[in-house]
Amino acid sequence: MLAALRPREGTLILPVLLLVSLASTAYGTEGVAGEGATAVTSAAEPGGILEVLSFYGCAILTVVCALGVCASKNIVRMAVWLFGALGAVALLYFLMAANFIGAIQLIVYVGGTLILLVFGVMLTTKSPWVRFEAKRWELIGAGVVCLALLVCLCTVLCRTAWHAAEGAMPGAAVAEIGRSLLTTYLVPFEVAGVLLMIVMVGAAHLARQEKKS
Amino acid sequence: MFPPEFDNLLYVGLQHYLVVGAVLFVSGLFTMMTKRNAIGILIGVELVLNSASLNLVAFDRYLGPGRLDGQIMALFVIVLAAAEAALAVGICINLYKNLATMDVDQAADLRG
């Protein structure tokens, strides 16, 4: 059963992603319609059952896709699982009312970085089925270290008393982000622009075709 | 209906997002540790960076709503991740041109 599903595991992600995104979109529009045009949501008050269900759907999707990246041996399958994980994280951003970051995640990560990775895979493999295995003791050691780290992190996160602040999310977050990028965060914004240009020149130089002399 | 110790499963709070971020971080770390392919290691780095920006957005949403600082930090993380990926793919292509393999253990020419 599982063996028959394996070659198509990547295609299974797409309908699930679509369903969850539709559900979260329906939830978002319902919230806006119920609360008026300002869409003020308080962070401290417990959300409705739909928020909980959408969160668990997106969270389970994220975790499954991240574990799929860990578990798959084939580099192309890893890229497909990464696609699922990035999309699910974008859905989590939408759930947190960070619409702009969610859109940027979809455009830059899923549309740009992932395509770049897939191009890298295509340019650097003779056959897509080439695999380099890790040794068994390396797998066990890495698994033990990572599980210990996960347990420690979760314990610390759940025992810390976070002081959740009362406050309203601004209705027009995108305009506010744009304004603070050009006022408070002007210097990092410009530095990021210069960095991107340097990276563009450097990457083009690194990957250029050597002239045969 | 539920015993009181399951109460925190019935709402979505900061911890829930942070736990998802922790799982993303750990799986990225595991990917970086166990994959031999340079592009595979890069995919692990992407997962770790994603968990960082997920945490930033969650902190922004629950600890300082209305300030948007965390969202802007997440934006810069995404920009840096894109820049890093472009450069790393260029380096991978150079590695492949020079060594004809993507196995990072083979790239030991500078070992003393």
Q: What is the DSSP letter of A45?
A: S
Enter the ipTM. Answer: 0.89
pLDDT of residue A74: 85
Give yes or no for residue B29 having a pLDDT over 70: yes
Q: Kindly list the residues from chain B whose CB atom is less than 8 angstroms away from the CB atom of residue A173.
A: 68, 71
pTM of the model: 0.80
Residue with tokens 């003791």: A137
Number of helices (H) and strands (E) in chain B: give both, helices first: 3, 0
Name the minimum distance, in Å, from the CA of B6 to any CA of chain A. 13
Name the minimum distance, in Å, from the CA of B30 to any CA of chain A. 6
Instruction: Yes or no: say if A43 and A164 are a contact pair by the CB < 8 Å rule.
Output: yes
pLDDT of residue B43: 94
- Radius of gyration in angstroms for the set of CA atoms belonging to chain A, rounded to a whole number: 21
Task: With CA atoms as reference, report the closest residue to B95 among B33, B16, B41, B20.
Answer: B41
Q: Kindly list the residues from chain A whose CB atom is less than 8 angstroms away from the CB atom of residue B96.
A: 123-124
The answer to whether A85 contacts B34, with C-beta atoms less than 8 Å apart, is no
pLDDT tens by residue, B46-103 = 999 999 999 999 998 888 777 788 999 999 999 999 999 999 999 888 888 888 888 8
Residue with tokens 């340019």: A123
For chain A, report the end-to-end CA distance as a whole number of angstroms: 56
What is the 3-class SS of A134-156, one letter each residue? Answer: CCHHHHHHHHHHHHHHHHHHHHH
- % pLDDT > 70, chain A: 70
Q: Kindly list the residues from chain B whose CB atom is less than 8 angstroms away from the CB atom of residue A129.
A: none
The answer to whether B72 contacts A180, with C-beta atoms less than 8 Å apart, is yes
Alpha-carbon separation of residue B109 from A166, B40, B87, B105 (angstroms): 57, 21, 21, 10
Side-chain half-sphere of A124: how many Cα atoms within 13 Å? 30
Instruction: Yes or no: say if A17 and A87 are a contact pair by the CB < 8 Å rule.
Output: yes
Please compute the mean of the pLDDT values over residues B17-45 and round it to a whole number: 93
Task: With CA atoms as reference, report the closest residue to A55 among B87, B17, B47, B71.
Answer: B17
Give yes or no for residue A34 having a pLDDT over 50: no
Task: With CA atoms as reference, report the closest residue to B61 among A10, A100, A36, A1.
Answer: A100
DSSP string, B14-26: HHHHHHHHHHHHH
Name the minimum distance, in Å, from the CA of B52 to any CA of chain A. 11
Alpha-carbon separation of residue B46 from A65, A67, A75, B39 (angstroms): 13, 14, 14, 11
Please compute the mean of the pLDDT values over residues A10-30 and round it to a whole number: 52
Instruction: Yes or no: say if A75 and B40 are a contact pair by the CB < 8 Å rule.
Output: yes
Please compute the mean of the pLDDT values over residues A46-65 and round it to a whole number: 87
pLDDT tens by residue, A77-90 = 999 999 999 999 99
Torsion of CA B37, A87, A167, A159, to 10 degrees: -50
Q: Within an 8 Å CB–CB cutoff, is residue A52 touching chain B?
A: yes
Give the three-state DSSP class for B10.
Answer: coil
Query: Tokens in use for A71?
Result: 């578990």
Q: Give Cβ neighbours of residue A117 (< 8 Å, ≥ 6 apart).
A: A79, A82, B39, B42, B43, B46, B85, B89
Give yes or no for residue A187 having a pLDDT over 90: yes
CA distance B24 to B18: 10
pLDDT tens by residue, A114-144 = 999 999 888 887 765 666 677 888 899 999 9
